[in-house]
Amino acid sequence: MCSTSNISPSRRRRRNGSARREQRASKCATAFEQGACSPLQRHNITRRTLFGAAVALAGALPARALAEQTLARKSKALRDSYAIAIAEAASALPERAPPQVEERLAWTLIDNVGSMLYAGSLRRPVAAARYFAASAPGEEADVLTADLSSSQTGAAAAMAYLLHAAEIDDSDPRGELRASAVIMPACLAAAQAADTTGAAFLRAAGLGYTLQGRLVQSVGPIQGRGWMASGVWGPPAAAAAVALLRKRPPAEIAAAVSLAGSAAGGVFQYYFDQSDEKRIIVARAARAAIESVDLAGLGERGAERFLEGRAGLYRLFAGTNAPACETFTDDLGRLEGPLYLRPKFFAASHSIIPTLDGLQSAAPPDLDPASVESFIVRGNAAWSRIVARKINDFEPPSSRIGAALNFSFVVAMWLARRSVLPGDYTQETFQDPEIISLARSGSFEVNDSDHLSIEIVLRNGERILAVAQDPDRQAPAPLNAEQRVNKFNALAGSRLNERRKADLRAHCMSLKNARSMQDWVRHAQKLCSD
C-alpha cells in the first residue's frame, strides 16, 4: 500500500474532496430511500457531472430511437393542425360515394355541361378558354364541350372560365358561392390525367364539394367583407379532391391543401363596378388547386395552420376564429356536399334570384310592364350595404356579367320580358328604353327584415308585394329534375339537336359505371361536337 506521506498537498486535497463527496452521496442515498433527502442537498452535484451523465445517456440510446422520437414530435405537431386532420379523414374515405351522392353529382354534371355548352357559343369565353389551354400546353386533359386539349392546369382553368362565363352555374346557399366553378373543372382535368374510374371521380368531387360546404357553413357569405367566396374556399377544397384522385398520402394531401389555401382570394369589387373578372378568379383558383398538388409532390409545404392560425383564412376572410376541427372531419364519409347544391334557373347573381322567385309567384301572368310606375326593394342594413347603392344610383350595364349582377336591370328585364336567361343578355337588351326606364324607377329602403321584399307600384295606385323566396341554407336542395332538364335543353339548344341532348344527359347519368375517365370524356366530346 502506498504511503500518504509522499503525496503532494494538491493531490491530497483532491483525494480528500473525493472521499467527502462519496460520503455525502452515501448519506443522501440512504436518506432518500427513507424519504428525507432534501432537494437542496443535490446542489452539490456539479454541472460537469450532469453534463457527463446526459452525454452517457444520449450515447446509450440507439440512433433509431432518437429518430423515432423526432418523428413522433413532428407528427404530433402536424396532428395539431386542421390540414393534417382533414387529410387523414379524406384518406380514410370509403371506395365509393354514397349512391344518392353519386346520382346528385351526375345531375350536377349535366347542369355544368349545359352551362359550358352555352358559353362555347360566345366569342369572349371561347377566346379565354383557348388562352388558358395554350398557357400551359399539354395533352393530359380535354376541355369538355370545347375542341381543346391541354395540361391539367390549362384544362382546369379553361373549363372553369366556361362554366362561370354565362352566370348560370349552380350555387351552395350556405355561403352564397358558386359551388362548381372551381371543384368540377379541377376534378375533371385531374381525373382524365390519372385516368381514374367514374366512381373515383365522383368520390373525389364529392369530397371537394363537401369540404367547400363545411368551410363556409359556420361563417356564411363573405362578400360583405369584400371577397368572392369561390375564390377563397374553392382552392383548398379542390386541392384535397385532386390529391385524393391521385392517391397521395395524408402528409402530401395536407401540404397540397395548405398551399392552395395560400392562393385564396378574389376581391368582390366586380359586383359594384360591373366588371367581368369573376370568371378569371375561378379559372385561376381551379388552376391553383392542381398546381398545389403538383408542388406538394415536389416536397413544397404550406403553412400547416392556414385555416385556424392567427393569420389564417378564417381570420383574414371571415374576421372570426375557425370552427372546431371536427366540423371538417366528423362523418366525412357522408360526402353530403353535393346534396346542398342548387341549380340556377335564372342567369343572375345569386343574391337576386330569390327576389325573382318571389315575383314569379306573386305577379299576375298578364301584368303589363307599361302599367308599372316604380318598384321598391326593402331589406335590413346588411342588405343595404350590398345592393342599396346599385339600386338607388342605377347605371345601365355594358356587359353580360355586369348586367347579370345589376339588381335593378335584372328585375326590370324580368318585368318586361318574363325571362332572365343567358340569351336575353344582348346589346339590344342593354339599350332597351322600356327596361332602362323600369330599372331607373327602382329604389331601396331599409327595414328590419333579414329577407328582401319587393313592392311593384302600378300607375293605377295598386301595389304588388313579393317576398324573396330564400332557400333554407342548412337544408339539402330538392332535385328539381324536370327544371334541370328544361334548363339543359335551353342552354344546349343552339349547339345540339334533341337526340344529342338526350344522349349526352344519359351519358352523364352513366358516369358512375365508367371504367376510364379518358374514354368517358372522349365520348362526351363527340356528343358535344356541333
- Amino acid code (one letter) for 105: L
Is the model's pLDDT at 2 over the cut of 50?
Answer: no
DSSP for 109-121 reads HHHHHHHHHHHTT
DSSP for 366-428 reads T--GGGEEEEEEEE-HHHIIIIIHHHHT-----SHHHHHT-HHHHHHHHHHHS---GGG--HH
Contact present, 225 and 318 (Cβ < 8 Å): yes
Average pLDDT over residues 502-511: 98
Contact present, 104 and 484 (Cβ < 8 Å): no
Is the model's pLDDT at 113 over the cut of 80?
Answer: yes
Q: What single DSSP character describes residue 463?
A: E
The length of the chain in residues reads 530
Which CATH class, in words, describes the domain spanning 353-467?
Answer: alpha beta
Beta bridge partners of 455: 376, 465
Closest CA to 261 of 293, 297, 283: 293
pLDDT in tens, 166-208: 999 999 999 999 999 999 999 999 999 999 999 999 999 999 9
pLDDT at 165: 96
Distance of alpha carbon 363 from alpha carbon 415, whole angstroms = 9
> What is the phi/psi pair of residue 310, to 5°?
-65, -20
Angle at which helix 278-297 crosses helix 180-194, to 10 degrees, equals 40
For 165-211, the three-class secondary structure string (H helix, E strand, C coil) is: HCCCCCEECCCCEECHHHHHHHHHHHHHHHCCCHHHHHHHHHHHHHH
Average pLDDT over residues 416-422: 94
pLDDT at 351: 86
Sign of CA dihedral 311, 313, 315, 321: negative
Distance of alpha carbon 325 from alpha carbon 442, whole angstroms = 45
| The overall pTM is greater than 0.85 | no
Is the model's pLDDT at 312 over the cut of 80?
Answer: yes
Domains 77-341+478-528 and 353-467 agree in fold: no
Closest CA to 486 of 503, 476, 501: 501
Q: Residue 313, class by beta-carbon neighbours within 10 Å (0-12 exposed, 13-18 middle, 19+ buried)?
A: buried
What's the distance, CA 232 to chain centroid?
A: 6
* Ranges of each domain in the chain: 4-60, 77-341+478-528, 353-467
Distance of alpha carbon 191 from alpha carbon 141, whole angstroms = 9
- Under DSSP, is residue 468 helix (H, G, I), strand (E, B) or coil? coil
- Contacts of 91 by beta carbon, 8 Å cutoff, 6+ apart: 244, 249, 250, 253
For 6-19, the three-class secondary structure string (H helix, E strand, C coil) is: HCCHHHHHHHHHHH
pLDDT in tens, 28-85: 444 434 444 444 344 455 555 545 544 444 454 556 566 555 555 545 544 579 999 9
**With b meaning 16 or more CB within 10 Å and e meaning fewer, what string describes 495-528?**
bbeeebbebbbebbeebbebeebbebbeebbebb
Domain 77-341+478-528 has CATH 1.10.4100.10: yes
pLDDT at 274: 85
